[in-house]
Structure 1
Amino acid sequence: MTTVPLALPVGIGIVGCNYGRLVQLPAFRLDPRCKVVALAGREAERTAELARAENIPLAFGSWEQLIEHPDVHVVCIATEPALQPQVALRSLELGKPVFAEKPMAADLATARRMAAAADASGCTTMVDFNFCEILSWAKAKSLLDEGAIGRLRHVDVNWNVENYATRMRLSNWKTSGAEGGGALGNFVSHCFHYLEWFCGPIKGMSATISGLPDKPAMETNVGISMIFRSGAAGNLAMSCASYLGSGHRIEFYGEEGTLTLINETTDYMRGFRLSLGRRPAKAMDVISVTDDIDLQFPSDGRIAPVSRLAARFLDGIGRGVPATNGFREGLRVQALLDMARRANELGHWLDTEPESQEGQP
């Protein structure tokens, strides 16, 4: 593996002025082993203004200039799925580790190329699957692993929100399945990752994907039934067209109890309430979890979880080893996204194919 000397500190370059600046920047700045030295955006003048405001030394109007600069040792990408592979592949070609967003590409073939390039380069990679870094989720995972609810019978995911792109009826990747986004790529990519983290590999699924009644091409709804390798069943219902929606809830039902993660707020990452009930209890008990890092950033609940991914990413670079949530895990999720789309198009159940098992637990 490529090892970057952390004593420098590591020079981070961020491609993307929205999420990259608002979330990745403060998340990486929490780690003294690195320094954000460059920002790239589509408009050179605006990017320069934003970089000055954030005290970032270098600003570029193109991603190519950023990744080729000698002061940039590591590249963080916060772009749409169709552009991200170009940035990642060139960065890996130059021997620079890559921190990427989800989904890692707009299609499975490109995701395969990215994973193969990461393997060939020896560079540490990571995909920003950040829900599993929420401390209440980490506690839920440990409880499940410890057998707190016994053998898992089934899991239900209900995620009902109205995102900005849908509310404003924007035509961009967040509303377009063809561009690797829509409800499936933008939201359910997270679900596939965390469901396998919690419950183990998905063995097969059926899927229904739809859009708004008057604009069906605007992908807003996904319904999936699945079976895990363990024999447990799963159901997922996700809509990003739910005005005043009920939020995000995950319910785990086992032989000996029930565990839930419920967030009724509009903050995607903050507000999850963890509850556990074990036989013969008549009600659920709330388990309190405090995140000291999150308390530092009251305006954005995404920063604390991403900071933990950033730290693990830097660990991998420093030790010259792969990081959890690398491009192989990203490829696994991409394969499940592809499988869901095919299941929807074919209108019947699909079992997991050997190629879609890459990167699975």
Structure 2
Amino acid sequence: MIRIGIVGCNYGRLVHLPAFRLDRRCEVVALAGSNVARTAELARAANIPFSFGNWTDLVEHPDVDAVTIAAPPSLQPAIAIRALELCKPVFAEKPMAADLAGAEAMARAALTSGRTTMVDFNFSAILAWRKAKTLLDEGAIGRLRHVAVNWNVENYGTRMRIKNWKALGEVGGGALGNFVSHSFYYLEWLCGPITRLSARLSGLPDEPAMETNASVSMAFQSGAAGSLAMSCASYLGSGHRLEFYGEDGTLTLINETPDYMRGFRLSLARRPATALALFEVDDPVDRSFPEDGRIAPVSRLAAGFLDAIEQGRRAVPGFAEAYRVQALLDAARRANNGGCWLDTGPEVKEERA
């Protein structure tokens, strides 16, 4: 039995906890938050044996075998590195750190420890998305020509003008860190390596420090082109839309609902079809959690994390993949600041736009 400790009383308690509890190979034994009394109350309500008012006591507790982290990106490196020093596997959130230096330190700690790590890039665990990847990998639309992502929502933080890490690019969040981190991961997962990019970032007209918009142009190693337009300041926005155009067909993933995880419709058309055909993809796990569409995909990542721990191997997406995403985020922010295209290979070169 793998004994899990969760750092984070919000997303960690609401999503990590039920997701890991679906797997009988583990038991959630500890919860850590920043408020001792509140954390103790939440732990009692959730039937979690131990509660702590700081992450250090949880990570160092002898009855905790593995750690999941749902904390701001500025805090994740210290927590993850300490857990790995104690040879405890780590399941972390995206973005993995507030900057590239923090991400590099986490990736180095994972490599040194040899312990399993995973990062919660949960779109890759939605069943409709996994079917889309299978179709793309099988050549259902032929050679990819270009991919377009349009993601228009209004999140709670923007609506309420909450200036926490999710709104502020300077601490690793904003539209880029909070949302586009997901997109960089899933675009490379679905389409292969991004080799060059340019980016434009902006905020609300009267609150420019609240980074709400990101526009990214990309070139893929395959020769395909890509574009991404993301806004978390779109009242009644059109949702999350991915369009893949190939030599032989078109594939789309479209979610017009306000739920980030559920509601995606997968459609495909191959020449000489004149209309897209819908694929029905059922998720029985998701039906068990009508209150939260995030739990089902995270449960699949949790199962993969536990598989890797048992088998003594690395998990995917792990810290290596998350570090790659952090490098793309860093390149996008520098491209915005410099008004240039950047090569996203090992050696970064600038070209004025």
Q: TM-score, normalised by structure 1?
A: 0.96
Q: Which amino acid aligns with 2:121?
A: F
1:319, 1:132 → 2: CA distance? 22
> What is the aligned counterpart of 1:44 among 36, 45, 48?
36
Please state whether the residue corresponding to 2:284 is helix, strand or coil. Answer: coil
> What is the aligned counterpart of 2:115 among 119, 123, 136?
123
Q: Which amino acid aligns with 2:297?
A: P
The alpha carbon displacement at 1:166 in A equals 0.6
The alpha carbon displacement at 1:304 in A equals 0.5
Aligned to 2:151: 159
Cα root mean square deviation, aligned: 0.7
2:201, 2:40 → 1: CA distance? 41
The alpha carbon displacement at 1:175 in A equals 0.4
Aligned to 1:114: 106
- Is 1:331–2:323 an aligned residue pair? yes
> What is the aligned counterpart of 2:197 among 202, 205, 211?
205
Please state whether the residue corresponding to 1:349 is helix, strand or coil. Answer: strand
The alpha carbon displacement at 1:86 in A equals 0.9
> What is the aligned counterpart of 1:341 among 329, 333, 346?
333
1:113, 1:44 → 2: CA distance? 29
2:309, 2:347 → 1: CA distance? 28
Farther-moved stretch of structure 1 (343-352 vs 152-161)? 343-352
The alpha carbon displacement at 1:348 in A equals 1.2
Q: Which amino acid aligns with 2:145?
A: R
The alpha carbon displacement at 1:226 in A equals 0.4
2:98, 2:125 → 1: CA distance? 24
Alignment gaps of 5+ in structure 1: 1-8, 357-361
Aligned to 2:351: none
Aligned to 1:264: 256
1:161, 1:134 → 2: CA distance? 19
Please state whether the residue corresponding to 2:340 is helix, strand or coil. Answer: coil
Q: Which amino acid aligns with 1:135?
A: L
Please state whether the residue corresponding to 2:268 is helix, strand or coil. Answer: strand
Alignment gaps of 5+ in structure 2: 349-353
Q: Which runs of structure 2 are paired with 1:210-289 in the superposition (5 Å)?
A: 210-289=202-281
> What is the aligned counterpart of 1:24 among 1, 5, 16?
16
1:312, 1:352 → 2: CA distance? 29
2:109, 2:60 → 1: CA distance? 17
Give deviations 1:67-93, integer Å, cap 9, x for gaps. 111110000000000011111011111
Please state whether the residue corresponding to 1:293 is helix, strand or coil. Answer: helix
Q: Which runs of structure 2 are paired with 1:68-83 in the superposition (5 Å)?
A: 68-83=60-75
Aligned to 1:312: 304
Please state whether the residue corresponding to 1:354 is helix, strand or coil. Answer: coil
Please state whether the residue corresponding to 1:12 is helix, strand or coil. Answer: strand
Please state whether the residue corresponding to 1:225 is helix, strand or coil. Answer: strand
The alpha carbon displacement at 1:353 in A equals 3.0
Q: Which amino acid aligns with 1:84?
A: Q
Aligned to 1:58: 50
2:158, 2:119 → 1: CA distance? 25
> What is the aligned counterpart of 1:354 among 327, 340, 346?
346
Q: Which amino acid aligns with 1:133?
A: A
Please state whether the residue corresponding to 2:263 is helix, strand or coil. Answer: coil
1:240, 1:26 → 2: CA distance? 27
| Aligned positions, number | 348
2:45, 2:237 → 1: CA distance? 36
1:18, 1:261 → 2: CA distance? 29
- Is 1:99–2:91 an aligned residue pair? yes
Please state whether the residue corresponding to 1:80 is helix, strand or coil. Answer: coil
The alpha carbon displacement at 1:355 in A equals 6.1
Identity of aligned residues (%): 72
The alpha carbon displacement at 1:164 in A equals 0.7
Q: TM-score, normalised by structure 2?
A: 0.98
Give deviations 1:96-122, integer Å, cap 9, x for gaps. 100000000000011011100100011
